[in-house]
Homo-oligomer: A and B are copies of this chain.
């Protein structure tokens, strides 16, 4: 059998059959949304970060690992244009990890918690003879707008990204700033769909297309390539950019751009939402190619 992460997520969505009244947003988006009795709603995300995959305890300080673990979930809160509320963290600690190391990891977690006003309110500590694993689950609440989903891109929307893409592995993946405030501003300007670029632009834009039942064409010449990225391929396919990818009507995009107050974070229009169901890219020689999802697939190597 050949199944990728996307196919498995489809399978899980089908099996869960969630009530749309109680769970307006379910499996398959950056966060799930739960409606409560008095009409409050809360969103939740969970991320598992592993030694050797998402960080390397041999090369990286535990403070940075703690920060990144929180920042990845904070980026999910941003992806939906929601306000972080609180986090819980469960850890699998290698034996002989020691209280001193645990406090360093905790200090990194708290540094992100404080910076983004998202307190650590609980957790679970276990130990084993294996490497470090950190699982963060985070709650958020909607801002002034409804949470912005992946599945709601509209025909004619401008496709935009914040910041620069590619080469995050060099160091940005440990120090990135989740785009919480930027996302709230983008949502208030009328963004139709949004997600964070965690698996690479090529993969993530295809998620928006598939879920929105639309096509997209992006312009290779316009992609903001990070100085850490060696090639356009890196900008398209490297994971862990943790920038925002969103779609918005051309009119709203012009207004957003005019009023944009985050001087250090650039906004770039890279393409358009069109009819169809897949993503394409116009190369520098004007050839139009399919933009295959060649970013990071967490299961590509494990699923047979």
- Chain A residues at the B interface, C-beta cutoff of 8 Å: 1, 3, 5, 8, 11-12, 15-16, 18, 23, 26-27, 31-32, 34, 36-40, 42, 44-54, 85-86, 88-100, 102-103, 106, 110, 119-131, 133, 135, 137, 139, 141, 298-299, 301-304
10 other A-B residue contacts (CB within 8 Å) besides A32-B122, A50-B128, A54-B126 = A8-B102, A27-B121, A34-B42, A37-B40, A46-B90, A48-B91, A48-B125, A48-B133, A96-B302, A98-B303
| Known A302-B95, A302-B96; contact A53-B141, beta-carbon cutoff 8 A | no
Pairs A–B under 8 Å by Cβ, sample size 12: A8-B102, A12-B106, A15-B106, A36-B36, A46-B88, A48-B90, A50-B128, A90-B135, A99-B299, A125-B299, A127-B299, A130-B131
**Across-interface contacts of A299 in B (CB, < 8 A):** 93, 99, 125, 127
A142 to chain B, nearest CB (A): 10
| B95, A47: Cβ atoms closer than 8 Å | no
A91 to B303, CA, bound (A): 14
A119 to B22, CA, bound (A): 11
| B302, A97: Cβ atoms closer than 8 Å | yes
A8 to B92, CA, bound (A): 15
**Across-interface contacts of A90 in B (CB, < 8 A):** 46-48, 135, 137
| Known A40-B40, A301-B95; contact A12-B120, beta-carbon cutoff 8 A | yes
Identify which of B99, B131, B139 contacts A1 (C-beta below 8 A).
B99
**Across-interface contacts of A26 in B (CB, < 8 A):** 121-122
Interface of A is mostly: mixed
Q: A72: nearest residue on chain B (CB-CB)?
A: B124
A1 to B98, CA, bound (A): 9
Q: A89: nearest residue on chain B (CB-CB)?
A: B46
Identify which of B36, B45, B50, B96 contacts A88 (C-beta below 8 A).
B45
Q: A123: nearest residue on chain B (CB-CB)?
A: B46
**Across-interface contacts of A16 in B (CB, < 8 A):** 110, 119-121
| A92, B36: Cβ atoms closer than 8 Å | no
**Across-interface contacts of A27 in B (CB, < 8 A):** 120-123
Q: A17: nearest residue on chain B (CB-CB)?
A: B119
Q: A31: nearest residue on chain B (CB-CB)?
A: B122
**Across-interface contacts of A39 in B (CB, < 8 A):** 38, 40
**Across-interface contacts of A91 in B (CB, < 8 A):** 48
**Across-interface contacts of A3 in B (CB, < 8 A):** 99
Q: A93: nearest residue on chain B (CB-CB)?
A: B302
